[in-house]
Amino acid sequence: MKSQEYLSNALQMSPHLVYPFRSETAEILEWAEAKAQNWKTKYYLGLIFWSKDRLDLAQKYFAACGDVPDYAPFYLTRGNMVRSESPQVALKDYKRALDLGSEASRTYHRLVEYYNERGELARALEMARAGVSRIPSSYVLQLGWAKALLFNRQYGASLSILDTITILPSEGARYGHEIHRQVSILSASEAMKNGNYPAAIKLLDKARQWPERLGAGRSYDVDDRLEDYLEALCYRKLGDRAAARKLFEKVTRYTQEHATDWGVHRLIAALALRELGRNVEGRKMIDDWVKRDPKNVAAKWSSLVFARERGQSQKLESEMRKGFRGSLLSKGSVDANFALIVEIHRILEL
């Protein structure tokens, strides 16, 4: 009788911060499941088998819980488990977690990410705004809102948020700075498109900054080629050819010093060479990249952009999108630097 009493008491306890993972614990839980079937024993067994990469058993136990649990993290966990293969099932679980009220910050964050991953950017923005409205003190939700605005190409509104939030620093937490840089550069690109070059220069200077409140310190070797190239274009438009030339040369010099970097910034370097009247060198820089990695989509796209093959570059971009609307920055499978330059090209036609 004592064991039954202990089991009853255990099942009445909250699952908060309970994360079983030992195989030996599974044996006890299976005994408990046979004595008194309860969603908590199934949930705990699911967690254990998931930790052992036994997804078949984990999914079996999670599915057996149905919609009985009144614990929001359960639905977040089950949604995370199935979202790749059953996105609509995951969405139902995320919404159920939100209805339960607890863990609201995590749930809003997960829903925003879910909609972003699926290219439903307007819904992601709506959910991000709702989350901040409910929990304005959460910097995670504030940052998610700023990202959603970025992905929906509302750069000014995104930058306004990033100018006010403080992100707790942690190892490798450069996401705050990266978003700040992306938004500043794209805001500058729009200012350039509208002919407001002084404002664009200020925004590009902002993009180079590393505010401590965004959770990361300045790196030792910072690649500012994109900012330098765009600023050079601004000075050229303002008639200051000496300042423009100095920046174009800075871009090419950095590229020469980092010759093993075969990323999309080679396009920026090639464009800078063309501005300096060294078109043949720029063309060779792109051709060498394509020869080295002929299947690289960024290299192919860069080659078309450098050759001013607008129709072909748009066709290749459409193939990358595969029906995905909005900014490619929201598409995790696309390199962030490449996505950023694609967005700039959309605005300015480099």
DSSP 101-117: -TTHHHHHHHHHHHHHH
The per-residue pLDDT of the chain, averaged, comes to 92
Supply 106's token pair: 């995590």
Residue 172 near residue 330, CB atoms below 8 Å = no
| Confidence at residue 86, expressed as pLDDT on a 0 to 100 scale | 92
Strand runs labelled E in the chain = none
Res. 156: pLDDT tops 60: yes
Supply 50's token pair: 């998931």
Supply 156's token pair: 């000014």
Position with higher pLDDT, 260 vs 325 = 260
Q: Which of 206-220, 253-267, 326-340 has the highest mean pLDDT?
A: 253-267
| Confidence at residue 5, expressed as pLDDT on a 0 to 100 scale | 76
Dist. CA 213–CA 219, nearest whole Å: 15
Residue 179 near residue 146, CB atoms below 8 Å = yes
Dist. CA 281–CA 252, nearest whole Å: 11
- Please tell me the pTM assigned to this model: 0.91
Res. 52: pLDDT tops 60: yes
pLDDT digits (tens, 9 = 90+) for 3-19: 777 778 778 888 998 88
Q: Is 122 exposed, middle or buried (0-12, 13-18, 19+ CB in 10 A)?
A: middle
pLDDT digits (tens, 9 = 90+) for 56-100: 999 999 999 999 999 999 999 999 999 989 999 999 999 999 999
Please give the distance of CA 192 from its chain centroid, rounded to a whole number.
26
Dist. CA 104–CA 18, nearest whole Å: 19
Res. 1: pLDDT tops 70: no
pLDDT range class, residue 321, cuts 50, 70, 90: confident
**Residues 160-171, mean pLDDT to the nearest whole number:** 88
Q: Which amino acid is at 90?
A: A
| Confidence at residue 57, expressed as pLDDT on a 0 to 100 scale | 93
The residues, any chain, with a CB within 8 Å of residue 328's CB and separated by 6 or more, are 320, 321, 334, 338, 339, 342, 343
| Confidence at residue 324, expressed as pLDDT on a 0 to 100 scale | 75
**Residues 250-276, mean pLDDT to the nearest whole number:** 95
Supply 17's token pair: 């911060």
Dist. CA 18–CA 39, nearest whole Å: 14
